[in-house]
Structures are given as structure tokens and as C-alpha cells.
Structure 1
Amino acid sequence: MTTGLLLGGCQSSNDGWTTETIGSAGTPGAARPTTQSPPPRSGAIDLDVLERSRLREQALSVLENAALSEWALLRANALEGMSNVPTRVEPFVRTGLADENLGVRYSAAMVAGRLRLKETAPLVRPLLRDHDGSVRIAAMYALTRFGESVDLTPVSEALMRGSVRERKVAAFVLGELGERSAVPLLLDASRRLQSSDADVLPATEIRLLRLQIGEALAKLGDESARNAIRAALYPAATEELEASVLAAQILGEIRDADAAAELVRLVTRIAPGTTEHPDPMRRIYLYPKELRLAAARSLAQLGYPDGWYVGLQYARDPQPAVRAQVAFVLSETRRNEDVKILERMLGDEDEIVRVSAAAGLLKVLEGSDRRGR
């Protein structure tokens, strides 16, 4: 995003983001860097060894229990959460690769590939014949990451003719593997969503799929894809909110520093006709909480952690999905106070929130910056 848009998108307020502070996270008066690299974080957590160890084991206990749950979604999320500690997650990955639920098998294969758990290869190979296409693609991803020779033609075919889920997984895998030769294929798949597929797929699914194809293209160096993702940030109708939230998340994942101004606008813009209260926690904001949380998280990933207050604002929201999103934000803003909130959230009444908090806590403690959804 241009400097002009940067200045136009930031509101003069006491919420930590002004036209001066966007240059260096939390440092008033700093100039915006001329490179794409994120600026240094403003501070780091300060915990002694014993406290770190206690919190780590507490978080791992939550995740290990979740990995044994009868609820498949919880098992899958637990694998993702434990991926910040490879030595602890591997036994659960092995179990997950043979899970009866396709979502768990998919997550297990993706985690195995992301962490290059090569010893799991004998358990991954049978998944190349799994009855579910997304699991087969995940197995191809894992084995490729292990250094094995894998025919990725089925991934390309899934991108063009698979189910919506298979297309999303195929696009993500091609982006993660750095397959630059896949750029023309991804562009063709995106064009098809505007023509032949437009009459077949629901509009909501088309929006989400185009964004995930755009994410893959951006990872492979297509700068125009970044512009398309930014363009999806502002929902014109309720049914577009999910796509806007995804766009905000993607911009953090691909480290699009030029999107910072737009993300700040989403976080700080107050509703028309309302006053700008000195306390940002008490303002009435224009954009939905889900979108503000996604934007705050991505800004933290870009090196601007001043959006911690957005997480705090919704930490006790009645909706479990929102509280889980809060955990994702605090795992990126990473203040000592955020660690305390995440620890409290380990006792949340909702299981998904507890798992999200545990995953966030591990990410902070392990200093992980791994990507993946």
C-alpha cells in the first residue's frame, strides 16, 4: 500500500497506532521503513525458566488430552496446536494418520509434512490411496517435504476439477511447496471461477476459493495477487464477511507489509456518528469483531503488536469462536500480560477455546513462527 493510503487509513488516536508509529512497532516518531521487512517487535515476554516450563507443560497437557478426545475436530486442532513442539506431537501424528476421521488424517499428514517428520513416511504412504481427495493431497505434500519423488499431477487435477475442499487444499499445498511452475495453473483456476465455475459453485465458496488461490500465487511471487487479496478486505454485505476475515488473515501469513495501513483502518475505524472515546476499549467500531481480530493478528505478524487491546476487548465474548480468535491474536502480540490471559483461557468452559489458548501459549513460549491452517 502506498504511503498516501497509509496516512489516510490511520486515525489520530491513543490506541497505539498513529501515522508515526506504523514505521516501528510501538516506537513513537519512527519513520516507516523502506523495505518489506517487518520492524522489530516492541519487547518480548520476560519469564524465568521454571515459569516457562510450568506453562509449557500446562498447555501441552490440554492439547494431549484434546488429542485423545472423542470429538474429531478437537483431535485435529490439538495436532495443529502441538506442532510447535515437534518431539511431543510426533506420537499423536502417528496415531492421527490412521484416524477414522478424514479431517484428523488430513491434519496429521499436513503436520507431518510441515515438520518433516520423515520417520512417519511408512504411515503416510498408504494415505496416497485414501478415499478422500484432500487426505491424498496432504499425503503428497508430506512425502514431497520428506524429499521423496512424488507425482503431483493429481494435485493439479484436484485444483481444476476437484470438490471445493480439494481445490482449497490443492492451492494451499502448491503455495507451500513453492511450486513456481504452478503459477499458470493457479491463474487458470482463478479465471475459471469467474467463468465456467461461476454457475456451478455458490458465490461464497467462489470468494473463499479465489482468496486461497491468491494466497498460493502470492507465496509464489505473484505481486498482483496481493492486490486482489487486499481488495477483499472490506465486506459490502454480511455474506462477504467470511471472505474479508480470510483476506485479513492471509495478509499476515504472506507478510504483506504494504497492507499495514488497510489493516490498521479495519482495527481503528469508529462507527459513523459516534465519538472517539480516549479509551479505545470503549469506542464503537465500524467493522465486526471477527474482522478486527483478524486484522490485529496480522498486524502483529507484520511486527506491529499494538493491537493487543483488540484481543483484550473480546477476551470474555459470549461466542466461543470469538474467544478462540482472541487466543490467536494474543499468541502474536506476545506481551507478559497476554501470556497471563492465555493461561486463564486454559480454563475456559469451551473445549475449542482451551485448545486455541494452549496452542497460542506454546507458540509464544516456543518462539514459533511456523505457518499453516
Structure 2
Amino acid sequence: MIRIGWLLAMTALSLAMLPVGGCEQPRRSSDSLLAPPRPDGDPLSQAQQIVLDGLADADPQIRANSIEVIATTRCVRLMPRVQGLLHDPAVPVRFLAILAVGDLGYRLAADDITQLLEDPDANIRIAAAYAMMKLGRADYYKVVRSAVTSEDQTVRANAALLLGKSGQRDAIPALYWALQRPDSADKVVLQAAESIAMLHDERIYPKLWTRLISAYADDRVLGIRAMGALGTEQAKNAIITMLDDRVVEVRLAAAEQLGKLGESIGEARVAEVFEKDLLAGMDADGRHRVKVLAAMAIGEIRSESLARYLPQLLRDPAKPVRLAAAKAILRRTPL
């Protein structure tokens, strides 16, 4: 069973497609299905151009996803373009641009981040505090930690995300507090559980397991992603069982996370998307969703046999698919 919206959003290109833990979700523009770029140049050049075009796209979701690609592939040479989006009108775009500055240690944007500490939006302020912390100002950690008690559920969810990314294990009690609070919204509970997994607290395993056995495919995908973050042998074995899930999107999510953990066992599940024509009979959204997840898995598994599918994905009509393929290329050959 798959719920409406499918929370493909939550696989985060990491691309796919709700890139900010709790911030507003921008509308998807019809422009996201414009014709692909000309197929000239080598794949690496094409990938870079796709990301650059994405940063300037009219759709804030595409801009946000493009920033995420730059951050996760550590393409520091593209950070001057990201710096220009620190004052983007869309909150999710600003949020991810700030996180990219922190995660890549891009000190050339430190003055911009300092200004954003006074932003009217609390989500932006805590993102700026996180970036300052990553730039060497450890005293800003307490700003992020205190935000997890916010009455605003979006701020609480985003604070939980940032605590998980911080690597600070003393944040674990605060995350369990958010996880167990009766007033915490679903998005807070989901993010708190994943963030605890990111901090490698094995006590969260039973909570994650309940996601893997859910009747809903989107829950299973979220559970797989969190198990991948936990990264223990037990978590890896649990993900392996999901390679036999009846839903192709779940199988691909499992293959991706196993790739992150250094296991190529899911390679055949990715190849079958193309070799067995699993896209036949799907509507346009379903095809785009599967292609994005397949590209993400290819980027993590990094095998030559799967890389041969990337050129066709780089030319796909859908921008999210092209971005996912570009991310896979850049994961294999960083700029």
C-alpha cells in the first residue's frame, strides 16, 4: 500500500523530494518536465551543467535539490553559486544553502551566515546556528539543542534534523524527549528517530523495525533510510530483507542504503528496472519516482555495470531525474 504523496520527498534527493526536514514544501512547477539539455559533452560536464541550471531554476524545489546535490557530493567549487541563494525568497532553499555552507566549511560565506542569525524565520536562525557551529563556533550548538523544545512543530523537526547532523551524542536525550512527547507531530517523531540513528544509538533499532514492517511503502522507505543511518550489522541485515519487498521503490531504497554501507548486493534490483522494463504500466509520476531512486542507488553502489544506465537518465525529460543522475555522476567522479 502506498499513501498519497508517497513521501518520496523524504528520501532527500536525499533528492527526492522534500529536502527540508520540516520547512514549507514549495509547489512543484510544470517547468520541471521541460526538455532535457542537449546531450553534448562528457557525462561529468553534463552533470555539472544540470546542477548549475538547477540552481537558477524557477522552481524552488529544483533549486533546493540542486543545493543538496552540491552539499552531498562536496562540490566546493560550486559553492559561490550556492552562496547567492542564502537570501532566496523560499525558506527551504535558504535552509539548505545555509546547511551546505556549514557542511562544506565554506568560510567565504561566514558574514552572510552571521546576518542570518537574526532572520525573522526561526528555521533559518537555527540553520545559521548549525552552520556557525560547523564553522568552528561550538557555542552555537546550544541554540540548536534548545530549539528542539520549540512549540512550533516545524522548528522542532528541523532542530531534530540538525542535532542528528551535528554528530553530538549528548543530543540523544533531547531527541528521545522529542520522540516521546505526546505533542510531537509525526514529522518530529520521524526525524527524531532518524537523527537518533544518525548518532548511532542502537536502542532505536526496535522503533525503526516497526517502520520496515508497516503496510505502507513510504513508511518502509523511511525505515530503510534510518536503518542505513544507524549502520550496524543488525541494521544492515534488516535492510537486506527489504530487497525482496513487493514494491520496486522500496527495493531501490534498500539497494541505495546498502550501497552507502559498502554492499553491492542490491545491484541486481537496480538493473532490473532497466532490463525488465519495470516502468511499463506506471504513470508519469511513478516512472519519475523509480528513475530518481534508481539513479540514487547507482550513485551509492558505484559499479561500472550500473553506470551505463546514467547517460539515459541524464537526458530524461524530468528535471528531478536528471538531477538524481547528475548526483550519481558526481558521487563517482567528484569535481
Q: TM-score, normalised by structure 2?
A: 0.78
Cα pair distance change 1:82/1:183, threshold 3 Å = closer
Contact 2:68 2:100 in 1 (8 A): yes
Q: 2:234 aligns with which of 230, 237, 258?
A: 258
| Residues 1:67 and 2:26 are matched in the alignment | no
RMSD, aligned CA = 2.2
Alignment-derived partner of residue 204 in structure 2:
225
Match status 1:304 vs 2:263? yes
Equivalent pairs counted in the alignment come to: 285
Match of 2:220 among 238, 244, 263: 244
Partner of 1:124: 113
Aligned to 1:159: 148
The one-letter code matched in structure 2 to 1:342 is L
The one-letter code sitting in structure 1 at the alignment partner of 2:221 is V
Structure 2 counterpart of 1:89, which letter?
A: L
**What's the counterpart of residue 333 of structure 1?**
301
Residue identity (%):
27
How do 1:36-51 and structure 2 match up within 5 A? Answer: none
Query: 1:69 and 1:156 mapped to 2: Cα distance?
Result: 34
Q: Would the alpha carbon gap of residues 261 and 87 (structure 1) be closer, same or farther in structure 2, given more than 3 Å must change? A: closer
Distance 1:249 1:127 in 2: 30
Structure 2: how far apart are the matches of 1:324 and 1:132?
Answer: 31
CA distance in 1, matches of 2:175, 2:246: 31
Instruction: Name the stretch that deviates more: 108-117 or 297-306.
Output: 297-306
Which amino acid letter does the alignment assign opposite residue 210 of structure 2?
Answer: A
| Preserved contact between residue 257 and residue 302 of structure 1 (Cα < 8 Å) | no
Structure 2 residue runs without a partner (length 5+): 1-40
Q: For 1:63, give the aligned amino acid.
A: V
Map of 1:174 onto structure 2: 163
Q: Distance in 2 between matches of 1:172 and 1:103?
A: 14
* SS, match of residue 232 in structure 1: helix
- 1: CA distance, partners of 2:62 / 2:125: 21
Q: For the residues of structure 2 that align with 1:308 and 1:353, how far apart are their CA atoms? A: 19
Q: Which runs of 5+ in 1 are unaligned?
A: 1-52, 269-285, 368-373
Is 1:363 the counterpart of 2:331? The answer is yes
Question: Is structure 2 residue 193 aligned with structure 1 residue 234?
Answer: no
Say if 2:82 is the partner of 1:79: no
| Range that drifts further, 307-316 or 173-182 | 307-316
Contact 2:165/2:195, CA 8 A, preserved across alignment: yes
**Which residue does 1:112 correspond to in 2?**
101
How much does 1:147 deviate? Answer: 0.5
The CA deviation at 1:143 is: 0.7
Question: Match of 1:253, as an amino acid?
Answer: A
Shift, 1:312, TM fit: 2.7
Aligned counterparts of 1:162 and 1:359: Cα–Cα separation in 2: 36
Aligned counterpart, 2:83: 94
Q: Deviations over 1:289-340 (max 9, x none)?
A: 2221111111122222121222233356342122111111111121113222
Query: Which residue does 1:350 correspond to in 2?
Result: 318
Measure how far apart 1:162 and its partner are. Answer: 4.1
One-letter identity of the residue aligned with 1:346: L
Amino acid at match of 1:55: P
- 2:231 and 2:130 mapped to 1: Cα distance? 22
- Quick check: 1:214–1:226 contact (8 Å CA) kept in 2? no
Farther-moved stretch of structure 1 (94-103 vs 177-186): 177-186
Name the aligned partner's letter for residue 135 of structure 1. I
Could you tell me which residue of structure 2 aligns to residue 314 of structure 1? 273
Q: CA deviation at 1:66?
A: 1.1
Letter in 2 for 1:233: L
Q: Which moved more, 1:308-317 or 1:129-138?
A: 308-317
User: Could you tell me which amino acid in structure 2 is paired with residue 294 of structure 1?
Assistant: A
TM-score normalised to structure 1 length: 0.71
Distance 1:324 1:221, change over 3 A: closer
Q: Distance in 2 between matches of 1:180 and 1:304?
A: 26
> Structure 1: how far apart are the matches of 2:120 and 2:192?
24
Distance in 2 separating the partners of 1:189 and 1:85: 31
Partner of 1:133: 122
Contact map agreement 1:330 1:360 (CA 8 A) in 2: yes
**Secondary structure at the residue paired with 2:43?**
helix
Greater mean alpha carbon deviation, residues 314-323 or residues 173-182: 314-323
Is 1:54 paired with 2:51? no
Deviations 1:65-85 (A, max 9, x none): 111111111111111112324
| Corresponding residue number in structure 2 for 1:291 | 250
Q: 1:91 to 1:310 in 2, by over 3 A?
A: same
In the alignment, the residues of structure 2 paired with residue 124 and residue 181 of structure 1 have an alpha-carbon distance, to the nearest angstrom, of 25
